[in-house]
Chain A
Amino acid sequence: MSAPDQILVDDQTLKFCPGETILDATRRAGCSLPTLCHDPRLEPVGACRSCLVEVKGQRRLMPACKTPASPGMQIETRNERVLRHQRVLLSLYLSDHVGDPSECEDGAPCELHALAKDLGNLPVLVPLQRKHKPRADRNPFIEFRSERCIACARCVRYCDEVEGVNAITLTGRGLHTTISTASGISLYDSTCELCGGCVDVCPTGAMAEKMPLSAGAAPERELEKVRTTCNYCGVGCQMDLNVDRAAAAGRGQVVKVTSPPAGTAPSDGNLCVKGRFAYDFIDHPDRLSTPLLRGADGNLHPASWEAALERTAAGLQEVAKKHGADALAFVSSARCTMEENYLVQKLSRAVFGTNNVHQCAAT
């Protein structure tokens, strides 16, 4: 047990790398420790207190998320003291929260209720029944519901440390500590870019997507998540379409977009306003869903892909024959993936023999 890269966690020997915290080491080994304010993209603050563990030789319980692992450290994560701490702590959180999980989890699942359920046997406290003023904000995407906020400041730190935008802050003091923009202005009037990262990192659904809530969409845990690549630009951010299979008369509908976990390549769970919120084009009536060909009558008519491709190929070939390949130019879209863009230049250079190829994000 004196190896320079080992710690003892509940009688299990774990290896750690230099710079790792107790939490890093335990998570890598697959042990679960409760956390609320932690996010691997953020500097640890140790504020929510849910990850406190007993470290031999330390009088006080220590936050695993903020305490560096050191050689030979002996850690208890499930003894009576730690479990009692977790139970009373969570009961305190719940006394100042939307107590009924089904009411609380109308949108995103609540990590607080999940931890309470896992742990069980919580003391039942009398709810504090704090009055909350609903806050209207005219931005169309993000809603803040303060009665669900546990002041973990994940949203604030994300906005600051990951986005570098600093649109929101912790305000007030004591029990009145909550989240706000400068002087409570609309996100629209702040430096906010509406990336929705605050919604993603919020553990309790206090920062929430407006559109599914106002549309009365099913709670997130009843939706099916379909991992896909955002097609708004070539970065290739991964995202999860949240699909309600039963909606739209059984045709299914994308109800919202959520982030994959932090650490997912290439975008680490981050999205921009388009990826996260501009998904309503999917079912928009104006959206083209079949090719259209102009008929002899001068109007556009739905056509099959075969017919459309044939007409396109014929047109291109005709121009090349008449005026030479350099009379053609191929411009592809920034919304195409890198692979698709590669194929366009292949088509241009190898098939038609022209270097007139461009992509709208290339400048």
Chain B
Amino acid sequence: MYTRSDSPAMTHDKKTRAHVPELLQQLGQPSAAGVDAVARHTGVPAADVFGVESFYSLLDQRDLKTRVCTGLSCRLAGAEDLLKACDKARLETAPTSCIAACDRPPAMLRERRVVCEVTTGDVLESQGSFEKLYSAAGSDWRGSIWPATADEGESLLNLAAAPNWSAAGYAKALEIGPEAVIQALEEAGLQGRGGAGFPAHIKWSAVRGEAEPVKYIVLNGDEAEPGTFKDREIMLRRPDLVLDGLAIAAHAVGAGEVWLYLRGEFEIPREIMERAVAAAEEEERYGDLAFHFHSGHGAYICGEETALLESLEGRRGMPRHKPPFPTAQGLWGKPTLIHNVETIALVPTILLRGAEFFRQAGKTQPGTKLYCLSGHVARPGVYEMPLGVSLDELVEAAGGYIGELKAFSPGGASSGFLPASERARPLDFQALAEVDSMLGSAGVVVLNEGVNMAWAAAEQLEFFERESCGQCAPCRIGTAYQRASLERFREDGDAQALEHVDNIAWEMIEGSICGLGQTASLPLTSALRHFPEDFVANSSGGAPQ
């Protein structure tokens, strides 16, 4: 019997396959000839190439140059008006899922470059020329940060400081050796910043302990959870910390190659990281450690670590079953350490300033945290605060609420909504889990009293439906069913339309393969639970503000 990998038509080299999406990107418009050309070039069957192309929104509609972000924060800032203005200006656009610019909304995408704070005036003046719009809005993508000035005291990541290329953290790692590095992470209590808060040292030890000599480090820079834009800011401002962290990880687990997977819209962060890598390679800062880049092509699910690996291997980004975990069988089946950008960037500081310092920097759990604050607050941006601050403390630093607080998402769309009464709850991994929410990626979106929660939930459900990979039915059909139910309710004001919501949400949690399907109902179920008044028959109301 043939297995997937040794079937006779699959004659291509595994690593050649990784180039399939990138080769497709380089072709102009999607076409049968293009698919065939990529198939011939790589040895990957044409049908397979087409399957990859059709999975990624940036490949599937390559000819569509302009998109408007319809993430919750951008909608709150008038994305809908922007879409209408584009229509008027005859600028062909389509909506896109959140593009990690929630602090400077509403945002648009030109090919793969993000343009922030676009006004309807800008669009109308551009008269359909995106070039004009682009130059009007400018391309600096950095947002506001806290602390706003370089701070060597409390801040661990110190985003406001200039990059420091001395590689002191890496030198320290060489000096103390792998075991001590991992022990430092354990003592520091570093938890993954990508969403799950899993203790980092356990993964490092697992990869280090694998007998297989070939191991990989993968940087998860997909950052696609709606409301999240901190990894963007780290790469724009402190690429030094990211490279140092990756090199330390490689040294500690015994990996010779590092893959940086950045979402497709991160062209500017990628350029900055590429320059940093080139300089490091030039001066052989990290010995013969090899760095490779891989861009995503428009698929939120590729932030899920096993989907990311599939994507990196040049396939459709469909999550794998766990176990086996990536630490045992990851990229090309080899032991792989995957970390979020923020997790990795914290590593050098832990080594340099000590585990105890890191622990003390947190309020309820160890370390500082980059909170991404957007929505109805005075100064949206990336706030480095002690892990476990409350919403009120966070928003105070951001100049206060706009309007009266009604609800907030503490950790992106996947964390659902919490009511204002939770404003004093520590924003940490544990305290939020206690109220059936999560810190996730710490994409904190604040909604004021003008927002109807049925409307807000609808936005999030559309997101999950669009981004479901489609592999398993609970998520594939469940996300669509929940969205359709809410839509029926909002159209007819008939609460009957929502009768199966809980049952289906239960099944999506029990039956889905990965975290997307398991959390996708939460925006709706949490809104129903905390804001029943927004779901009484015939009061389903329209727009916010």
Q: Which residues of A contact B (CB under 8 A)?
A: 41, 43, 46-49, 52, 60-61, 63, 66, 81, 84-85, 88-89, 92-93, 95-96, 123, 125-126, 128, 150-151, 157, 160-162, 164-177, 180-183, 185, 190-191
Flag if B47 contacts A123 (CB, 8 Å).
no
- Verify if B8 is at the interface (C-beta below 8 Å from A): yes
A121 to B484, CA, bound (A): 23
Q: Nearest chain B CB to A33's CB is how many angstroms away?
A: 15
- Verify if B480 is at the interface (C-beta below 8 Å from A): yes
Q: A85-B511, A191-B47 are in contact. List 5 more A-B contacts (CB 8 A).
A: A84-B506, A92-B481, A166-B10, A166-B47, A190-B47
Flag if A43 contacts B3 (CB, 8 Å).
yes
Flag if B32 contacts A191 (CB, 8 Å).
no
Flag if A169 contacts B478 (CB, 8 Å).
no
Q: From B75-83, B142-150, B383-391, B460-468, give the one contacting chain A.
A: B460-468
Q: Which of B55, B321, B478 contacts A46 (CB 8 A)?
A: B321
B49, B469, B471, B488: residue with the most chain A Cβ atoms closer than 10 Å: B471
Nearest CB to that of B506 among chain A residues?
A88
Q: Nearest chain A CB to B2's CB is how many angstroms away?
A: 5
Task: State which residues 275-313 of B face A: CB under 8 Å.
Answer: 299
Flag if A183 contacts B50 (CB, 8 Å).
yes
Q: Nearest chain B CB to A113's CB is how many angstroms away?
A: 15
A200 to B305, CA, bound (A): 35
Flag if A164 contacts B507 (CB, 8 Å).
no
Flag if B470 contacts A173 (CB, 8 Å).
yes
Q: Which residues of B contact A (CB under 8 A)?
A: 1-4, 7-10, 31-32, 35-36, 39, 45-51, 54-55, 57, 299, 316, 321, 465-474, 476-481, 484-485, 488, 500, 503-504, 506-507, 510-513
A136 to B507, CA, bound (A): 36
Flag if A174 contacts B47 (CB, 8 Å).
no
Q: Nearest chain B CB to A312's CB is how many angstroms away?
A: 45
A201 to B8, CA, bound (A): 21
**Given A96-B477, A171-B51, A182-B49: A43 and B9 within 8 A (CB)?**
no
A99 to B478, CA, bound (A): 17
Q: Which of A84, A126, A166 contacts B48 (CB 8 A)?
A: A166
In the bound complex, residues from chain B placing their C-beta under 8 Å from that of A182 are 32, 35-36, 39, 45-47, 49-50
A-B contact pairs, 29 of them (CB 8 A): A47-B472, A47-B513, A49-B472, A84-B506, A88-B507, A88-B511, A92-B504, A93-B473, A123-B503, A160-B4, A161-B2, A161-B3, A165-B9, A166-B45, A166-B48, A171-B50, A173-B467, A173-B470, A174-B468, A174-B469, A174-B476, A175-B476, A177-B470, A180-B51, A180-B54, A181-B47, A182-B32, A183-B32, A191-B46
Flag if A160 contacts B474 (CB, 8 Å).
no
Q: Which of A41, A85, A157 contacts B510 (CB 8 A)?
A: A85
In the bound complex, residues from chain A placing their C-beta under 8 Å from that of B474 are 49, 89, 92
In the bound complex, residues from chain B placing their C-beta under 8 Å from that of A49 are 472-474, 511-513
Q: Nearest chain B CB to A129's CB is how many angstroms away?
A: 9
Flag if B32 contacts A185 (CB, 8 Å).
yes
Nearest CB to that of B33 among chain A residues?
A183
Q: Nearest chain B CB to A164's CB is how many angstroms away?
A: 4
A363 to B510, CA, bound (A): 58
Flag if B48 contacts A169 (CB, 8 Å).
yes
Q: Which of B46, B465, B467, B507 contacts A92 (CB 8 A)?
A: B507
In the bound complex, residues from chain B placing their C-beta under 8 Å from that of A43 are 3-4
Q: Nearest chain B CB to A42's CB is how many angstroms away?
A: 9
Flag if A162 contacts B316 (CB, 8 Å).
no
**Given A49-B474, A88-B504, A92-B507: A174 and B48 within 8 A (CB)?**
no
**Given A61-B511, A128-B480: A173 and B4 within 8 A (CB)?**
no
Nearest CB to that of A96 among chain B residues?
B477
In the bound complex, residues from chain A placing their C-beta under 8 Å from that of B31 are 183
Flag if B7 contacts A175 (CB, 8 Å).
no
Q: Which of A41, A81, A126, A175 contacts B465 (CB 8 A)?
A: A175
Q: Nearest chain B CB to A276's CB is how many angstroms away?
A: 20
Q: Nearest chain A CB to B16's CB is how many angstroms away?
A: 16
In the bound complex, residues from chain B placing their C-beta under 8 Å from that of A167 are 47
Flag if B465 contacts A128 (CB, 8 Å).
no
A81 to B468, CA, bound (A): 24
Q: Nearest chain B CB to A299's CB is how many angstroms away?
A: 52
Q: Which of B57, B476, B506 contacts A151 (CB 8 A)?
A: B476
Q: Nearest chain A CB to B472's CB is how many angstroms away?
A: 5
The 6 closest A-B pairs by CB, nearest first: A177-B470, A169-B51, A166-B45, A182-B46, A183-B32, A88-B507
A43 to B9, CA, bound (A): 17
Nearest CB to that of B54 among chain A residues?
A171
In the bound complex, residues from chain B placing their C-beta under 8 Å from that of A126 are 484-485, 488
Flag if A81 contacts B4 (CB, 8 Å).
no
A92 to B511, CA, bound (A): 12
**Given A93-B473, A123-B500, A151-B476: A175 and B468 within 8 A (CB)?**
yes
In the bound complex, residues from chain B placing their C-beta under 8 Å from that of A173 are 54-55, 57, 299, 466-470
**Given A173-B55, A174-B479, A183-B50: A191 and B9 within 8 A (CB)?**
yes
A43 to B4, CA, bound (A): 8
B45, B299, B481, B504: residue with the most chain A Cβ atoms closer than 10 Å: B45
In the bound complex, residues from chain A placing their C-beta under 8 Å from that of B321 are 46, 63, 66
Q: Nearest chain B CB to A49's CB is how many angstroms away?
A: 5
A81, A174, A190: residue with the most chain B Cβ atoms closer than 10 Å: A174
Flag if B35 contacts A125 (CB, 8 Å).
no
Q: Nearest chain A CB to B57's CB is how many angstroms away?
A: 8
In the bound complex, residues from chain B placing their C-beta under 8 Å from that of A125 are 481, 500
A161 to B55, CA, bound (A): 21
In the bound complex, residues from chain B placing their C-beta under 8 Å from that of A47 are 471-472, 513
